[in-house]
Structure 1
Amino acid sequence: MDNLLIKSARIIFPNTPFHGKELDVLLNKGVITKIAKQIERGKDHLDVFDAKGQYLVPGFFDMNVNFGEPGLETKEDILSGSAAALAGGVTGVAVQPNTHPPVHSRSEVALIVNRSAPLPIDVHPIGAISKQREGRELAELYDMKLAGAVAFCDGDRPLQQGGLMSRALLYSKGFGGLIISSPEDVSVAAGGKMNEGPTSTYLGMKGNPNLAEALMVARDLYLAEYNDAPIHFTTISTAESVALIRNAKASGIKVTCDVAAHHLVMTDELIAGFDSNYKVSPPLRTQADVSALLEGLNDGTIDAIVSQHTPHEVEYKNVEYQIAADGVIGLQTLLPLVLEAGLTIDQLVDKLALGPRRVLGLPLPEFKEQAPANFTLLDTGKKWRFDTETNRSKSINSPLMGSELKGKVTMVVNKRQIINTQ
């Protein structure tokens, strides 16, 4: 499809003269050559895509994704992860350093950058804050930044040493680096398997309290303020965290945050069936927390929504809930979950496409003639089944597997490549 004419798409590109209008878009080898109310076909070899009733939006960017490469390719490799991302309308990802070896030096960063270069998705490595993600000694942050790392985080191992976090904030500030905090005080969480509350008491299961997250958010906000450095909190899940970050933003602290899509629609009550596919970290919380997260999205406290895509082989999830690994795959279900949460199309674009790139300091997709296309076509009313036939990940650990979902990505264009995902 070198030459493609997209007919009658509703354009949702804020800060452009085309925003909110129904227009035709002509592409030549992935470059936007014409945007108009009506474009005639003209050439016989021109492919036409009828996008009537669909939205054309900037390509989504997911800033919390786990691909297994290097070392854990049986969970997910860059190729399969990218396929899942494209099926979910995601044209860019920031991948966590939860690999083996971890992404803690220039060589692992360069491997990911080079392996993903030919793919129609922008893959940006997140480097580890500490060597081996052990939380003891700073990794070579500046070297990784030069090699292509967009931020630094110890992934699913929250950084427990306050002194190390303070040094990381101060050091990265000097070269424009961004530290990402996975906020959990593990001594307070104390191995809890689900949210601490009435449901955990009813099930007789050890709980992980909201306090474990809120304490770490409070600590890292103080450290960011002390060092006058930016900080980003990933996958916040509690009402307390939203309130702390809201107040910090109002006081001028350089803080941003994101929330996982599943935390916007799922609660701890779903764990009553002991389905290990609902076991995530941080755990699913209460309806009160869900309401606070949605309020945080509406008032701008929360900057982005992520999938927290965490693939696992079946032997890590098809076991008793207590010993199952944390995490779900989420790249392909990102859009349906956000729609279920009740976000408008403009909110969706801001939190899935623009907000994440702003946080990471990446260029926003352009929508104008002669610009390389980076956009997603989506049908918010289309229903489809998420199952082993439509799943593009190597893993199947999702509570939505086998479900009918509403909201389908129909086409993705990026890096001069066009992918029909219908």
Structure 2
Amino acid sequence: MDNLLVKSAKVAFRNSPFHGKEVDILVENGIIVKIAPHIGVEHDQLLVVDASGQYVAPGFFDMNANFGEPGLETKEDILSGCAAAVAGGFTGVAVHPNTQPPVHSRSEVALIVNRAKTLPVDVFPIGAISKKRQGEELAELYDMKLAGAVAFGDGDRPVQQAGLMSRALLYAKGFDGVIVSYPEDASVAGGAKMNEGVTSTYLGMKGNPNLAEELMVARDLHLAEYNEAAIHFTTISTAESVNLIRNAKASGIRVTCDVAAHHLIMTDELVVGFDSNYKVNPPLRTDTDVMALRKGLEDGTIDAIVSQHTPHEVEFKQVEFQVAAEGIIGLQTVLPLALEAGLSVDLIVDKLAVGPRRILGLPIPEFQEQAMANFILLDTGRRWRFDQRTNRSKSSNSPLLGKELTGQVTMAVNKRQMVNTQH
């Protein structure tokens, strides 16, 4: 990589002595060699970036991204997924096993790890809990861990069998594996297409009640407590889920959780127009749930924010709402949504960069001289249009496409590579 000099960036590394200060940063061959209030330009072979008014922060890490590879590359492959990730400020992603074949053995894990080696994004597979994600037989978790899997979950399929989830928790505990629960009781959710409430009644659509999520959260909290094991809940969406996890943390259960960025802003009232880009799972909830999720972030109950990036080809989305696939692309829109939710830069960095890595036991990027550079420049006031020109994903299933957004990452540095994310 070229040598890089970043001028006048405000530091948003909480544990750094430079936190909150404006500094210049000199990067040579991927290493931070100097941090000072002012660094002069010593030679021509230096890319100088004026970061006045911008923050330098650790690269974000997404705990819930879906890339189609292997098998579903028409939705997203690892190359395009990483392009979308780095454009959104993510220098690391954990990809869920929603592929064909699923990531349920050493070979699929190794394929993903090897495919991403040269890219500017650290890609970590999440291995399936059960073989073929069928929820019946435990997959070879430890084998996948040795191959590079960073956690285990059945992706967008909730583990319905309590016994299987209990065995997974107990087995993973033996090697500090992270079990990810996608909390939904399928028998209660009943294949519904949106949140159960006033709006679903008005539209005459079958609703997915908050209860479907909360029953599974309660069940898995009991299982984690029984097995004295750690558990992570992904994309919680209801006020009662937040309360259950808050109380569990207070009682000493080893539990963490994350929330999808769109659940911090969007509500089920947006479904009135039957735009299938608002069809996600868990479904968009109510204002009460949105406010509870934001409060959960503020008080530390919720440990991370995720994109839940779920790309689909156009034929899966441009159909009637009832039959459309669930999910939206989100890697490039997490920061604008977090800012719109009123979160401070420090809180955003904590939930998008520090919290996810802490949950997964990964090293947190350091901001000090002689450290490997893993940082982003983010401009909280920059306005930009998310459209076909700026979208880096293969897919375009987002309700934000075509809209002007506020807040953008302008540069990412990781693995000795620099990416100007404005082009």
User: TM-score, normalization: structure 1?
Assistant: 1.00
> Which residue of structure 1 aligns with residue 42 of structure 2?
42
CA displacement 1:185-222 (0-9 Å, x = unmatched): 00000111100000000000000000000000000000
Unaligned runs of 5+ in 1: none
User: 1:4 & 1:415 partners in 2: Cα distance?
Assistant: 14
Q: Deviations over 1:348-407 (max 9, x none)?
A: 000000000001010000111111100010100000000000000000000000000000
Per the TM alignment, residue 44 of structure 1 is displaced from its structure 2 partner at its CA by 2.1
**Shift in Å, 1:421:** 1.1
Give the alignment of 1:47-86 within 5 angstroms.
47-86=47-86
In the alignment, is residue 349 of structure 1 matched against residue 349 of structure 2?
A: yes
Instruction: Give me the CA root mean square deviation.
Output: 0.5
Who is 1:200 aligned against? 200
Cα separation, 1, equivalents of 2:45 and 2:120: 23
Question: How big is each residue's C-alpha offset from its partner over 1:64-88, in whole Å with a ceiling of 9 and x where there is no partner?
Answer: 0000000000000000000000000
The residue number in structure 2 matching 1:143 is 143
State the AA in 1 paired with 2:21: K
Does 2:323 correspond to 1:328?
no
For 2:278, the aligned partner's letter is: Y
Residue in 2 that maps onto 1:316: 316
| CA distance in 1 between partners of 2:367 and 2:272 (Å) | 47
Amino acid at match of 2:282: P
Q: Distance in 1 between matches of 2:278 and 2:140?
A: 36
- List structure 1 runs of 4+ shifted beyond 4 angstroms: none
- SS for the counterpart of 2:71 is coil
Instruction: State the match for 2:128 in structure 1.
Output: 128
Q: How does 1:15-414 map to 2 (within 5 A)?
A: 15-414=15-414
Q: Which whole-Å CA distance do the structure 2 matches of 1:361 and 1:44 have between them?
A: 40
Return the letter of the residue paired with 2:182. S
Paired residue type of 1:345:
V
SS at match of 2:48: strand
Q: Distance in 1 between matches of 2:284 and 2:111?
A: 34
- 2-structure distance, mates of 1:34, 1:151: 35
Distance 2:401 2:172 in 1: 40
SS at structure 2 position matched to 1:119: coil
For 1:346 and 1:382, locate their aligned partners in 2 and report how far apart those are by CA, in whole Å.
Answer: 18
SS of structure 1 residue aligned to 2:322: helix
Instruction: Give the C-alpha shift of residue 45 in structure 1.
Output: 2.3
Cα distance in 1 for partners of 2:291, 2:47 equals: 45
Find the aligned partners of 1:270 and 1:93 in 2 and give their Cα distance. Answer: 29
Percentage of matched positions with identical amino acids: 77
- Post-superposition CA distance 1:125-166 (Å, at most 9, x none): 000000000000000000000000010000000000000000
AA paired with 2:163?
G
CA contact (8 A) 2:62 2:352 kept: yes
Asked if the contact 2:2/2:45 (under 8 Å) is kept, the reply is no
In 1, the alpha carbon distance for the partners of 2:45 and 2:70 equals 42
Q: Which residue identity is paired with 1:282?
A: P
Q: Which blocks of at least 5 consecutive residues in structure 2 are unaligned? A: none
Output the amino acid matched with 1:127. G
Q: Counterpart of 1:300 in structure 2: which amino acid?
A: G
What SS class does the counterpart of residue 57 from structure 1 fall into? strand
- Corresponding residue of 2:416: 416
Q: How many residues align?
A: 422
Query: What is the CA-CA distance between 1:29 and the residue it aligns to?
Result: 1.7
1:272-307 CA deviation, whole Å, 9 max, x = no partner? 000000000000000000000011001000000000
> Match for residue 3 of structure 2?
3
Question: For residues 40 and 151 of structure 1, what CA distance do their matches in structure 2 show?
Answer: 44
